[in-house]
Amino acid sequence: MDGTGRFGETSAGLTKRFQALPGNLRGAAWIIVATVLFTIMMTLIKLIGTRLPVAEILVVRQSVMFLTALPLIIRGFPGSLTTRRPLLHAGRILFAVIAMFCGFTAVVHLPLADATAIAFAKSFFIPLFAIVILKEAVGPRRWGAIIVGFIGVMVMLNPTGAGIDGYGLLAVAGAASAALVMVIIRLLSRSDLAITILAYQTVFVGVLLTPLAIWQWVWPSWSEFGLLVAIGLVSVAAQSCNIQAFRAGEATVLAALDYARLLWATILGILIFSEIPAMRTFIGAGIVIAAALYTIHREARRGQRLARSPAGRGYTN
């Protein structure tokens, strides 16, 4: 038997063993890989963002993502572009542009660990927007978790020190916009197919940013163009791993592991950019993460109680 055959058998055996693992364990493996890939993507953006404009980076990234999604869009056409809620899609695209532009700009100018930690503020903006937009009921404990999360963000921004960094505020704006996108997706998922939501995002985020990218355009070198394409490919791989993770495991178990991104960002920030994060970054991130995990735990228990009662059948919060 040649080497290729032995490799194929070994690969098939490993795949079979992996599939035999408990769902949460498989999900945990996928989510850890996703966090590593997301951090690599941010590192590449930070490296190339010192010379190329963020809008240009985003347009190339979206173009790569569009090309990878195109076969799925074509296969599902015309259903993949059919929607009864075009205005909601427009809002989702607008806030996705804001989230990416603000978030990527913050990554370029802030220490990698700081930008990653502040991005976790999304976890307390999501329930806040869900209360306002989705009219979800909220009790004192959930409000308490939101307030604690806000305190954590303020600790990271350090308003009592040398003043709030403008790029720190951009990171918060990016986190808030990303949270709003997540809430809008929850609304869209009630009526539209997943491929429809993906199609509009991959096409129109790039279209919206193209005029700014052309105005600011800096011709990349061949090595820089390779990095731009790599950013798009790594983004696709990271999102694919994320999807696989939540297919295999429970969201309440996997959500906590997503915060491993702060560990990878700290390591890469030190090794590549010689960045030593301030202690307030870890303290603030710890507060935000604790508040988020408490909310996840409470919602999981609430879901279990509702699922056991007749009134709770179909609970989707």
Name 20's Cβ contacts closer than 8 Å, sequence gap at least 6: none
Beta-carbon-side half-sphere exposure of residue 309 (alpha carbons within 13 Å): 9
Please name which of 111, 109, 118, 120 lies closest in space to residue 167, comparing C-alpha atoms: 109
Residue 307: predicted pLDDT = 38
Which sequence spans correspond to the domains of the chain? 84-191+278-309
Residue 10: enclosing H or E segment and its boundaries?
helix 3-20
Our CA dihedral for 179, 181, 185, 187, rounded to 10 degrees, sits at: 80
This prediction has a pTM of 0.83
Residue 243: predicted pLDDT = 81
Do residues 28 and 253 make contact, with C-beta atoms less than 8 angstroms apart?
Answer: yes
Residue 99: predicted pLDDT = 96
Residuewise pLDDT in 10s, the chain (317 residues): 555 555 455 566 666 776 666 667 888 888 899 999 999 999 999 999 999 999 999 999 999 999 998 898 888 888 788 888 889 999 999 999 999 999 999 999 999 999 998 998 888 788 888 888 887 776 777 778 778 888 888 888 875 555 567 888 999 999 999 999 988 988 888 888 888 888 888 889 999 999 999 999 999 999 999 999 999 999 999 988 888 887 877 766 677 788 889 899 999 999 999 998 888 888 888 888 888 887 777 766 665 443 333 333 332 33
Q: Which two tokens stand for residue 286?
A: 């710890």
Please name which of 190, 211, 41 lies closest in space to residue 115, comparing C-alpha atoms: 41
189: DSSP letter? T
- CA atoms of 37 and 49, how far apart (whole Å): 18
